[in-house]
Chains A and B, each alone.
Chain A
Amino acid sequence: MSEFAVVGKPLPRVDAREKVTGAASYAGDIRLPGMLCGRILRSPHPHARIVSVDTSRAEKLKGVYAVLTGRDMAGLRVAFVDTPKYPADEPPFALDRVRYIGDEVAAVAAVDDATAAEALSLIRVEYEELPAVFSAADALKPGAPLVHEFDYPGKSIWEDWGARGRPQSDPVPRKDNIAARTFVEFGDLAKGFAEAYHTRADTYEVAPVAHAPLEPHAALAYWDASGKLNMHVASMGIFYKRFVLAKALGLSISQVRILKSYVGGAFGGKIDVFPYEIGAALLARKAGRPVRIELSREESLATTRMDFHATVHVKTGVRRDGTITAQDIRVTVDTGAYRGTGPVVVFLCYSYNIPVYRVPAQRYEGLAVYTNNPIKGPKRGHGAPFIRFAVDSHMDMIAQELGIDTVELMLRNARDRGEVMPTSGDVLHSCGLKDAITAAARDGDWTAKRRKSNWNVPERFKRGVGISACSMFSGSPYYPFGSAAVVKMHDDGGATVFAGTVEMGQGSETTLSQIAAEELGVPLNDIRMISGDTELTPIEFGSFLSGGAFVTGKAVKLAAADAKRQLLEMASRLLEVDVADLEARDKVVRVKGVPRHGLGYAEIIAASVKQANADPIIGKGHHKSVPAAELHPSLSTAKGRWTEAYGFAAQLAEVEVDTWTGKVRVLRLVTYHDCGFALNPQIVEGQIEGCVSMALGQTLQERVDLREGQMFNPDFIHYRMPLTLDTPEMVSGMIHSDEPQGPFGAKEVGEGAVSGVMAAVANAVYDAVGVRVTRLPITPARILGKLSRAEAASR
């Protein structure tokens, strides 16, 4: 992309120097005078009635400045999803019931951590244990204990933003543990299966995994003299968070400020509004002093959010050539003790699947079920890992049964540019899916390496290759619906960009600076960024909806273009030349074709200040994530516009299986990611590599070990994330499909290269040893178990 001066280049990140010197500040690093340390008392029981809470002894302890319980916020309920159909269901601090081990019951603020811990030990809580359920299957059985006895259909916090209103009513008794349901049906399913040449049905299961960013959750809250709440939070989506916090605390939006901190990784695990955040704010108000709550690693892993336990049933009918005639999918997820993002994930398991292969007739049902397990939330891919693991494992078997090469089968079904999604009406304005599949197969030596292993020979090490594809959205019509940005020129022709992005590792500060620099015609070094502060920056969509590059990038580009337009107009007056005859590059506005006839930006700005009533040149830009849509699509029917652009990825895994121990070694992982256009190839590669590492962790070795609602591995010795030693050779390729709606053609990156890994590895294992593992993680014991059974069966 040599036509560009700054974008498309692998420039070093603008925040890297701060980070390598230890100067970068995270929420847990900030110290304020008089700061108190907060700690949370949590339920040790998975399901219990709170009989009494006595905090009197804690309140009297020397060094304790504030104590709070559920009584301090009676009636408040928060939730990621708060709609008339799915009213908020989580009291930040339990009032009468605790529903999972870790449920927040009380909080204290004290002079130091040891005093806070002692204060917690002085709080007396009397519990009456209740019967509990620990799996979706058990929770769905007739007569199962109800995790929630009532829904509380109060006013949704989103009614001002277009959520349908519903009159307040008394609590509505619940009759089951179904937290949410998505149902989609189109085409003639019966006919589709009837005309199928071949039909196959499979069931897959995915264990819950943890986000486990290296920075645990942390929040620092203080109230200033004007009565405003100020917070540093390890959080994503600060404008979303500010909105929900304000509503929860009964404040107006502008009475809440979230200030900038770098965030040490999030991957979806830091977007919810958490009780510890509300607790820090309320303790700070009670104590009249700043309060910082840093969650321990155990709390971060076991009591905030984790990824879902999911079961996927998929049945597909195909013609003789392998093209799909009908598909019936049922997804059941354990969403935990509160709804979390259960309603969203069961919508997404459909929405992330439908853009990949053409399906003329579909039936899809997704159920999110309450249990007394920890709460589930969005983790990088948010449903795409389960559904793509299931469908592409399943398609690999169909290919085998038809005698068709899997890559060929995928290409025959893969969607093309211009196709319209059936329920949302979204159009694939760009689609590099087929190119990605072809490229991954090519770089992974598919033809040379596929079906080369002899399953029946007693060789110890066997190799195989497998492939899978996935899709990802680029932002959705959800609060705050879009982003805005401001570009402020300085006297010297440099500029500062104001954009609300949170830099949590995805490189947004750098890519947005590059976009601004490119558009404005200045070197990257001349761009400064003010980010991550709700007071200092305009509204920002939030990377939690995969809209960082696509939505905020567009807003920044427009803001820079606006500033440039003003420069050109001023220059036009000064040079007495038409704007159309001017070009702006390298901080100089020149007359096209007359390189020596120009004015430096500094000169233009000075002239503007002197002649245009002190106008220093400030550009403004804004962009809505889905211009045509007012509100998010229906979660329960998937009808309604969802996103403007889809990213795609195809991933190939080459594995070596040790048939004696069952251990799988990934030799190579090839990714081709259709990101539209790589604004910074080094950052895009880094995102792909990080996605792959995390995905391999989920596929092979990570699992939240939940037993009767308790996480038995809540530390980093026993929750096993990939290490340097686990890194395979990675090929990280990009497909530039040039998304017309995206800034310089870019669309999402950062989430899309996760969900093709699972089935790629599972399919590679099958290729190597002929066993099909339908559960994640694919552990050595599982492989060995299947191998032994296969061996025994063949004798």
Chain B
Amino acid sequence: MKRLIQLHVNGQTHDLVVHPARTLLDVLRDQLGLTGAKRGCGLGACGACTVLLDGRPAAACLTLAVEAADQEVLTIEGLAEGGALHPVQEAFVESGAVQCGFCTPGMVLSAKTLLDRCPDPKPEEIREALAGNVCRCTGYVKIIEAVSIAARRMREAASGN
């Protein structure tokens, strides 16, 4: 039976009627028009649908919308603040870490959460943190470079350089 829920997405609250089996990904894309999270595989095995739930990465394709109702959802559309790109987004643009762009929203969000908890990650730690995000285009080389660059810039900004 369908239920009335409230979803808090990118700082906005939405009242929605959803069927229990409907995934957060379906609701974000089809009911809220937030198409940044992508349908890549449907089984949480590619990371293209990565969103943040209370700051932690989650596969929106394996999360029921009803389960996300009490949490803060952040999608890629909510990351840049007032047109200013997040340092991870900026670094991706400059480093050639974007090719077809389909994995990019998920990759950026996963990288952001890594840097939130680990401001100075070694390349091996970056690889581990992004190991659930598949990219078929880049071979990951420039993605890992971009995350290192973003980390450095964020550290410099934080220390007031």
Contacts and interface: CB of A to CB of B under 8 A. Distances in A.
A–B contact (CB under 8 angstroms): yes
Interface of A: 10, 12-13, 15-26, 28-29, 31, 212-216, 262-265, 267, 294, 296-297, 504-507, 682-683, 685-686, 689-694, 715-717, 721-725, 727, 730
B139 A730 contact: yes
A42 B108 CA distance: 37
Interface in B23-40: 29-30, 33-40
A689 B38 CA distance: 24
B93 interface: yes
A485 B38 CA distance: 32
Interface centre among B104, B108, B144 (most CB of A within 10 A): B104
B101 A15 contact: yes
Contacts of B136: 212-214, 265, 267, 690, 693-694, 721
Interface stretch (B64-72, B73-81, B153-161): B73-81
Interface in B61-104: 75-77, 79-80, 85, 89, 92-96, 98-104
Contacts of A727: 127, 139-141, 144
Contacts of A690: 99, 136-139
B17 interface: no
B33 A31 contact: yes
A23 B76 CA distance: 9
Q: Which 10 pairs of residues, A with B, have the shortest CB-CB distance? A: A22-B36, A505-B100, A19-B101, A264-B102, A693-B139, A689-B139, A22-B76, A505-B99, A716-B45, A29-B35
A715 B137 CA distance: 18
Contacts of B151: none
A725 B94 CA distance: 23
B100 A10 contact: no
B130 interface: yes
Interface residues of B, number: 54
A724 B138 contact: no
A689 B45 contact: no
Nearest to A262: B101
B105 A22 contact: yes
B39 A294 contact: yes
A10 B76 CA distance: 26
A265 B137 contact: yes
Contacts of B43: 297, 715-717
A216 B35 CA distance: 15
A724 B130 contact: yes
A682 B134 contact: no
28 contacts: A12-B96, A13-B98, A15-B101, A19-B101, A20-B104, A21-B36, A21-B79, A22-B36, A26-B35, A26-B102, A28-B39, A213-B137, A214-B48, A264-B38, A265-B100, A267-B136, A682-B142, A689-B140, A693-B136, A693-B138, A693-B140, A716-B45, A716-B134, A723-B140, A724-B126, A724-B128, A724-B143, A727-B140
B119 interface: no
A601 B75 CA distance: 43
A652 to B, nearest CB: 16
Contacts of B30: 31
B42 interface: yes
B41 interface: yes
B16 interface: no
Contacts of B41: 297, 715-716
Contacts of A213: 100, 102, 136-137
Contacts of B142: 682, 685-686, 689
Contacts of A694: 136, 139
B149 interface: no
Given A21-B89, A214-B134, A725-B131, A262 B140 contact: no
Interface in B102-117: 102-105, 108
B40 A723 contact: no
A262 B104 CA distance: 13
A615 to B, nearest CB: 37
Contact of B77 (A15, A21, A715): A21
B94 A12 contact: yes
Contact of B139 (A31, A262, A507, A692): A692
A604 to B, nearest CB: 33
A683 to B, nearest CB: 7
Contacts of B36: 21-23
Given A265-B100, A507-B99, A22 B134 contact: no
A19 B104 contact: yes
B148 interface: no
B5 interface: no
B11 to A, nearest CB: 15
Contacts of B140: 689, 693, 722-724, 727
Given A265-B136, A725-B127, A685 B96 contact: yes
